Structure 1
Amino acid sequence: MDDSLHLYSYWRSSAAYRVRIGLGLKGLAFETLPVHLLRDGGQQHAADYVAVNPQQLVPVLLHGRRAVRQSLAILEYLEEVWPDAAPLLPGTARERGRVRGLAQLVACDIHPLNNLRVLQFFERHWNVPQAERDEWVRHWIVEGLAAFEALVAEDPATGAFCHGDVPGLADCCLVPQLYNARRFGLEAGQWPTLERIEQACLALPAFQDAAPEAQPDAPKGS
């Protein structure tokens, strides 16, 4: 049985970034298969990649001959296949519900509104100027992260990380979203709890190794 792991990824994709963090936390070795989302009109639209993922999105995880799509589904898959390797979810149903809710706040409510294909649609079909597209992105990031901050700031379940003192699924989603916030000129200091958690995460090798600039397909000097 082939247990090798390959990840279709783009260096600056926050969804792929989440999965890279999860793989790192679990100590799982993998090979990156770069998919450049801008080059050649977007390599995700090429026929050979569409055959892998008809949604034309990254990431996709190949575990041997099995393909798993969607970042949260991939992270849950890693948790189920390797449950004893640095669990990404806590032990009780109530705790897991909290962590999943935080993760989905980012992956389902913030990120889809800022996704490259949404911004490209605005530009190509509606001729929305760059400044207005950037304002759209910032609005939804601020609204979403303000809610995230409110959910973790006063909750006794919050520890050094989003849930307790061990990084997990919610942290895998939070750190890439804060990276995106800075790309659009937002300062994380307006969310002090999130910034504190981020700093705790970025001190760990799994987060450092998953950073966009550390990826093999990142542009030199990025």
Structure 2
Amino acid sequence: MVGENRAILYGYWLSSCSWRVRAALNLKNIIFEEQNVDIVKDQSQLTNEYKTINPAQKVPALVIDGETLVESMAILQYLEDTRPEPRLAPNDPLQKARMREICEIIVSGIQPLQNVGLKSHFKTDQQYQEFTKYWCNRGLQTLEDLLRNCTGPYCVGNQITMADLCLVPQLYNATNRLELTLDKYPTLSRLYGTLLKEKVFKVTHPKAIRPQNVVSRL
């Protein structure tokens, strides 16, 4: 039996990982409050207070059902297992595998290589920018090749899945923070345009969840 207490999402408004979870909570109609953890300016994630919530000192973290969960994909799977409707994964085994392919390319092959935490390990901002843009473009090309011949209105089949929850925040990062163009990726560009019109991505968009709109800061 799922708990009745309001869930708490510790996230950062521009974090793509936080956006994935925020969108899933919205789709699952789970009542939650969001507490902003400023991982850029204030670096609130490095405090001892936040370390007790997430030992990895990253976002997001979700307090739900009396438990604290970290890592966005683990959180999405928990929500899927405990609140199965509406589904965020296809029933068909092949389509489910396709969904996981897309998720893995993004969460393992792109997002970690553009993380702001890497910046301090480069001698110059230019080196960091070149590195992040290279790996982002490479990942986007892989997604374009995979999705070109199999995608529909959404990444996989006729429903929003975890793949879409990963794709939209990644493309937002690519086009805004990294200032990349999607001209070379017509399939991704079309999908992105379609998905941004969905209510879930409108109400959970960073522009709607900027700091003055979140409940509180850590």
* Alignment pair present for 1:104 and 2:104: yes
Q: How does 1:139-218 map to 2 (within 5 A)?
A: 139-155=134-150, 158-182=151-175, 183-217=177-211
Q: Could you tell me how far apart the structure 1 residues matched to 2:25 and 2:192 are?
A: 18
Structure 2 residue aligned with 1:67 = 68
Q: Could you tell me how far apart the structure 2 residues matched to 1:81 and 1:14 are?
A: 23
Q: Greater helix percent: which structure? A: 1
Q: Could you tell me how far apart the structure 2 residues matched to 1:119 and 1:190 are?
A: 27
| Residue correspondences, number | 210
Amino acid at match of 1:39: K
Q: Could you tell me how far apart the structure 1 residues matched to 2:131 and 2:118 are?
A: 11
Secondary structure (helix, strand or coil) at the match of 2:52 reads: helix
Amino acid at match of 2:48: A
Q: Show structure 1 runs of 4+ deviating over 4 A.
A: none
CA apart distance, 1:23: 1.6
8 Å CA contact 2:61–2:70 kept in 1: the answer is yes
- Structure 1 gap ranges (5+): 123-127
Structure 1 length normalisation: TM-score? 0.90
Amino acid at match of 1:44: Q
Structure 2 length normalisation: TM-score? 0.92
Q: Could you tell me how far apart the structure 2 residues matched to 1:174 and 1:80 are?
A: 21
CA apart distance, 1:2: 4.1
CA apart distance, 1:191: 1.0
Amino acid at match of 1:212: P
Amino acid at match of 1:15: C
Structure 1 residue aligned with 2:216 = none
8 Å CA contact 1:19–1:75 kept in 2: the answer is yes
Q: Deviation digits for residues 27-50 of structure 1, max 9, x if unmatched?
A: 22210011001233x100000100
8 Å CA contact 1:2–1:65 kept in 2: the answer is no
